[in-house]
Structure 1
Amino acid sequence: PPPRLVEQPRRFGPLIQLNTRGFLSNLRQHRMCGLSIIHMAQQARAFWRQAPRKGPQKKGKGGDPGEQSDGEFLYFDQKGSSKDNGKAHEYSWRDWIDIAVKWRQVSEPNDPVFWIDLLAPEAFAEGFGLQTPMVTGQMNVIRYYPYFDRALEVVKKLIVDSGACNVHDQRFMLPRSKLDQLQEAKSCHDMWEVMQQGFYVEPPCHSIARPGKSMAGTRITLLQKQPDGFDFTIRTPGTPPRWVEMDAEMSHVWR
């Protein structure tokens, strides 16, 4: 590769670093991130320069798109981890994200990276949950507690606007008599005193593929943890209905 191109990962790689307490700098991940950005940019450019057309595939080397002609479409390395692995298909957003998956695995081979909808059917149907704890028990999690104040304000606003859901997924509205107490809450204990039960809220995601429609975003959850603590977390359940909506959105914006 041209020397100038090889130097670019040093410029882009550090963008992955989260500059907050608890996150150490990993030079290897910086390099792999930089290479991933360049690789993804090259393939996105190739895709957008020529819209996919139905027809026989033509493979490139190392996962790169081959030369294109009428009736052909971009094809990703057959060892990709997407659902169309090894089959002729139009180059999709999943193929594009697979590039990041592969470079992430190069940066640390022992870290698992997988597609949620390719888990065992039973696990996918139950909903694979991604969880980011801000408070667990009586401990403020050093990596994620900096999100606490912002998350708390989002929770307050959503409770006022659209209520909350209890642990049985039943939506309820807070009595108007408690709204002032809600606005004064500054801690998990304060929120529990107001709500008197475990709950979660879901910020809305406004659809681009279906203008005027909203989808359920990630969940901000508060649960009591015995004996004297709370779990205040950001949770994203990867359920099949959510995945269908997300896939439709990504497919729309990719094209």
Structure 2
Amino acid sequence: VNPNPTPNPNPNPNLLPSRVAAYLRSKPFTAGAGRRALNEAAQRVGPWVQLRCKGFLANRRQHQQFGYAALQTAQAFRARVRAGGSGWAVTNAASSSSRHDGGDGGRHAFGWRDLFDAAAGWRQLSEPNDPVWWIDELPEASFRAGFGLQTPIVNGQQKVTRYYAYHGKAFAVLKAGMQRELRLPERHPRAEPNPGDGGRSGYRLRLSAAELKAAVAASTLEDAYGVVGQDFWVVTPCASTARPGEVLEGTRLTLVRKRPEVGAPAGAGTLDLGYEFTIRTASTPERWADMAAEMDAAFDALLTLAAQLESEPSANPNPNPNPNPN
């Protein structure tokens, strides 16, 4: 009705772009020598996070956050080392763990999770729209269902640009795992349910001699899938540090036949849609407890090593300055 309405005769001058720009010009960002030194150090360290592989684009903001995260975690770890055996008590309010009450009055000894909390915080700041969270702090039902992280290598007919470089090594690991034991989501005539749950978390299958021969000879995803003719995964072994001699369940390599989506036209089921070949890490409470124990042991070992290095005198703590500097 009125494509050119009369502008507001009394606009708020504080909202005008020209006023905002003028204000920003009058208040330039300033930083002392200490802040400038930290910023320069972060800029040097930041690019280390960049994967120089196909599909991974450079992002200056994420480089910067990585630099700050590296500095903060290094400073925090040094403070923990210098605190000695009694530990460095930090407030529960700064912890992501529900083991702590979160109140300002409570404190706990600084541990590996506090170290990662700093890195997670910087990662959130670098891109607020990206989901960054601790899996064990998801709702209980989601956590117990085994919320998983997934890295696709092949998705149907598509070789995933970022991760296809892993295909050769991952396929070799898949074949080796098939020779030990397969895990199946569905029943199989010779498969046994996982102990204690009646098959709710899948079934276990050891291949026959003929199937083992076929697994060894497999050269494609189709060959590997054809050994048992149904979806499966293998579990990579993970040697325990906390409990030497014990082997834990590591990550999973999963091979699934690609199926038509719900609502696909009739006849789509006859098409060869390929396979989904993925790296998956299921995070159930039991697996999380195992890995948390591993992280505790690794963190303690790192503290011990760092304390030894801290106590060793420098080879030349006060070198004579160069008498003829350039």
TM-score by length of 2: 0.68
Give the CA deviation at 1:79.
Answer: 3.9
* Contact persistence 1:52–1:74 (CA under 8 A): no
Q: 233, 245, 261: which one pairs with 1:212?
A: 245
| 3-state SS in 2 of match to 1:135 | strand
Q: 186, 192, 205: which one pairs with 2:225?
A: 192
Q: Where in structure 1 are there 5+ consecutive unaligned residues?
A: 54-71
Q: Which amino acid in the other structure matches residue 209 of structure 1?
A: A
Q: Which amino acid in the other structure matches residue 156 of structure 1?
A: K
Give the CA deviation at 1:248.
Answer: 1.0
Show the 5 A alignment for 1:129-208.
Answer: 129-160=148-179, 162-168=180-186, 169-208=202-241
1:143-176 CA-partner distances (Å, limit 9, x unpaired): 111111110001111222x221111422212222
Separation (CA, whole Å) in 2 of partners of 1:51 and 1:172: 50
Q: Where in structure 2 are there 5+ consecutive unaligned residues?
A: 1-33, 187-201, 260-270, 301-326
- Aligned position for 1:250: 295
1:164-222 CA-partner distances (Å, limit 9, x unpaired): 11114222122222334323323211211223221111111111111111110011000
* Contact persistence 1:73–1:90 (CA under 8 A): yes
Separation (CA, whole Å) in 2 of partners of 1:149 and 1:184: 15
My pick for the range that moved more, 224-233 or 142-151, is: 224-233
| 3-state SS in 2 of match to 1:19 | coil
Q: Does structure 1 residue 25 correspond to structure 2 residue 70?
A: no
Q: Number of aligned residue pairs: give it.
A: 236
Deviation beyond 6 Å, 4+ runs, structure 1: none
Show the 5 A alignment for 1:9-24.
Answer: 9-24=42-57
| 3-state SS in 2 of match to 1:203 | strand
Separation (CA, whole Å) in 1 of partners of 2:142 and 2:215: 37
My pick for the range that moved more, 241-250 or 15-24, is: 15-24
* Contact persistence 2:91–2:107 (CA under 8 A): no
- Aligned position for 1:232: 277
TM-score by length of 1: 0.86
Q: Does structure 1 residue 78 correspond to structure 2 residue 93?
A: yes
1:20-60 CA-partner distances (Å, limit 9, x unpaired): 1111110100011011111101111111122363xxxxxxx
My pick for the range that moved more, 29-38 or 14-23, is: 14-23
* Contact persistence 1:165–1:200 (CA under 8 A): yes
Separation (CA, whole Å) in 1 of partners of 2:126 and 2:91: 21
Q: Which amino acid in the other structure matches residue 170 of structure 2?
A: A
- Aligned position for 1:69: none
- Aligned position for 2:81: 48
Q: 98, 106, 110: which one pairs with 1:91?
A: 110
- Aligned position for 2:303: none
Largest Rg, 1 or 2: 2
1:225-252 CA-partner distances (Å, limit 9, x unpaired): 1242211111111101001111111112
Question: What RMSD, in angstroms, separates the aligned Cα atoms of the two structures?
Answer: 1.8
